[in-house]
Every structure is written in C-alpha cells, then in structure tokens.
Amino acid sequence: MAEATRLIQLGKLVEATALIQRMLHGERSGDPGAGASNVIDAEYTVLDAGHVSTDSSPPEVQPGAQVKARHTPRPHTSLREAVARAAALAKLFGDGLSSRPVLEPLPDGASFTAATYSNAEGSRDYKLYIPSIRSRERLPLIVMLHGCTQTPDDFAAGTRMNSLAEEHGFFVVYPAQHSLANARRCWNWFRPDDQRRGQGEPSLIAGITCEVMRQHQVDPGRVYITGLSAGGAAAAIMGQAYPDLYAAVGVHSGLPSGAASDLSSAFDAMRRGAKVTERPGRVVPAIIFHGEMDPIVNPSNSDALAAQALGGATGLQRITEHGQAPDGHAYVRITYADQKGQTMCEHWSIRGAGHAWSGGSRSGSHTDSRGPDASREMVRFFLQHWTNE
C-alpha cells in the first residue's frame, strides 16, 4: 500500500488503482506485464471523476452545437480518503463478477445458445436468445453490448431483455468481448481501429448481427443495437458506422462516437465529457440513459450523444417531461420529434443514479433496480422505428 500511496501523492491515480487491483488479487507489484495491462484495463476505474452537476434540469441540446461538459473541480481529498476510494473502486470494477448471474428459467420452446463468429479481424463468441413465439413473420433483433467485466449471461440477467423478448417477440444477441482483447472485457471504443466500418470490433459486431440475420427469421428493417458503459460507447460507434444496418441505437452510461482516439483522450472524455459535434450522414434514432451522479462516465457525455444523434437536424419539436419511477428515481426525459411527429431522440437523465443499468435486476452486475426501466423503454423506442431496407 506504500507504493499505492506514493502514486496517489504524485497524482498517478490510474497507476495507483492498477496496483491496488493487483494487491487485491494477491499479486506482486513486480509481476511481469501486470502493470501495463491493468493500467489500460482500469479505464472504468477512474478515481477522480470530478463533481457531477445535479441541477434541476439538463441543458438544452441545440442541434449542430458543440456540447461542453458539466464538470466542476472536486474538493481536496485527504490521502487516507483517496486510498480508501481507490481500493473500493478497484474492488468494485476490477474483480469482475463476484457471483454467477442468475438467469430466469427458459420458457418452453425458447432457447439461449452460444456460438462463435469469425472474420479477417478475429473472432468473438456470442449468445442468442430465441423466444418461444413461433411466427411466419420475421421478428426484430436487438444486439446487446455488455459493459466492462460483464458477460452475456450477466448482461441478460441484469437487463431482463430476454423476458421482454418473450413479451414482445424478438431475437436478442449478446456479443462477448474476449479477455485477450481487453483483460476486463471492455469493448475498445477509444481505439481508432475499433471505430471504423469494416475494421476491428465494429466489423465483428456487425458480422455477428448479419450472421444471426442470415440464420434466423429476422426482419432486416427492425434491427437495433444498445449497450452499457463501454458497450454503450461501442453501440454509438455502430450506429455511426452502420446506419444502413441498425434502425435505432440505445446508449446507457456511455460516450459518443469519436469521443477518444487513444487512452489519454478516453480518460479525459470520461472525466470531463467528450467535445464532439454531430457527424454528417443519415440520422439514426437514439435513446440515451445516464445517471446524473455517475462517477465513472461524466453525464455530459449524454448531452453530446443527443447532439450527435440529431445530426444537425432543424425544426425539431422539443418536449421536456419530469417524472418518477414508482418508489424509485426521479428523471427528466427530453424528446426531439420531427415534423411528422416521429421521435428522433429520447434523452433520459436519472436523478441520483450512478453508473448502472436503470431498472435492472439484482441478478446481474452494475444495475440499479430503482428505475426507470431502461430495458422496457428502449424496447418501446426501438419498435417505433424501422428502416426501408
């Protein structure tokens, strides 16, 4: 702990967290290769995330405007407090799953099976949920990208998306990040090679999507993608890179496409908020959730996501709604609709919520059961949108 204390005194908080992670695992600080990989994989264990504004309403997003982060300096923290916070965060986000996720029993006729997809960029495992509903009509497909340390089973348990697939009738596919690609199983949203169509992880995620579409009765006009945290950032990238494949995108506690180009800019975007503008091209409808007390990814990233999703569109109708989940969190929902009344973006800011899937089940990790129910709201939003492909 003395070395961790020294690193904190020098302001090297990421390195301190990586060292504490190794100590929690019982490793020696001199183990070959341990430091470098853990520093990179500590991306969601940022220690000094800054104070998050909890003003009564989020700032209005003006289409085409660059969004600035809501960030104010954190008050001075004592060394003892810093070490304690580092250890707590390292234990929470660095150890992976503390227990096996509890999945709900499969209904008769449903299946949840594992497969592997490979292309020139590599391979990734995935799990596919096929609902018990049997129909001659093609069904929608939702692609679910898990967060750091999570697995498809864990994400399915926490989001309850399989239960909603039974209720509404759609397929769900859960691509799995490999620990060889990222030791904490984070999608590498901050690397340029993993931000482009036809390259890296986007090509693998799109490949899994298309493989499921080929092998099953999927409606090609009703394919959607969403994710949490690093998975949310990856989902935003997929919406920008493959607007012809996905009819709508969901991002929970994530960052906009192009938020970072390397590890240093990734930390800055997470701590202070991404400084990106909308990108030209077809606008892909988006639904965004973010907790206003998120200590890992600055909530201002959700404002940047909304601006990017709108793509500079003008003449949109903006409606602000204040509400509260039953016995749960209050929230602000801002919707942007076009002249035909079609909602192009929903932006949910959740009062008092942190870095967790809103309305999720405690059977999975990184969930907040106090709602609102992000899974149900995303499904509602998705099924209102389809492409003409």
| All structural domains of the chain | 2-61+74-94 (no CATH), 111-382 (3.40.50.1820)
Sign of CA dihedral 141, 251, 332, 365: positive
The answer to whether the CB of 13 falls within 8 A of the CB of 86 is yes
The answer to whether the CB of 306 falls within 8 A of the CB of 61 is yes
What pLDDT does 313 receive?
80
For residue 220, what are the CA distances in angstroms to 171, 211, 244? 12, 12, 10
- 10 Å CB burial of residue 268 (0-12, 13-18, 19+) is middle
What pLDDT does 39 receive?
35
Query: Among candidates 113, 171, 182, which has minimal Cα distance to 144?
Result: 171
Q: Specify which residues 137 forms β-bridges with.
A: none
Strands (E), the chain: 51-52, 71-72, 111-119, 122-130, 139-145, 171-175, 218-228, 248-252, 286-291, 317-324, 330-337, 343-350, 357-358, 367-368
Spell out the per-residue pLDDT of the chain, length 389, in tens.
Answer: 566 556 555 545 555 555 655 554 444 333 333 333 333 334 444 332 333 333 333 334 443 333 333 433 334 445 555 554 444 444 333 333 445 677 888 999 999 999 999 999 999 999 999 999 877 899 999 999 999 999 999 999 999 999 999 999 999 999 999 999 999 999 999 999 999 999 999 999 999 999 999 999 999 999 999 999 999 999 999 999 999 999 999 999 999 999 999 999 999 999 999 987 655 567 799 999 999 999 999 999 999 999 999 987 888 999 999 999 999 999 999 999 998 899 999 999 999 999 999 999 999 999 999 999 999 999 999 999 998 64
Six-digit token string for 206: 């799109």
What's the rounded Cα separation, in Å, for the pair 24 and 146?
24
What pLDDT does 10 receive?
56
Q: How many other CB atoms sit within 10 Å of the CB of residue 314?
A: 8
What pLDDT does 256 receive?
96
Query: Among candidates 271, 334, 347, which has minimal Cα distance to 52?
Result: 271
The answer to whether the CB of 349 falls within 8 A of the CB of 299 is yes
The answer to whether the CB of 298 falls within 8 A of the CB of 273 is yes
Q: Please report where in the chains the tokens 């799995």 appear, as a residue.
A: 176
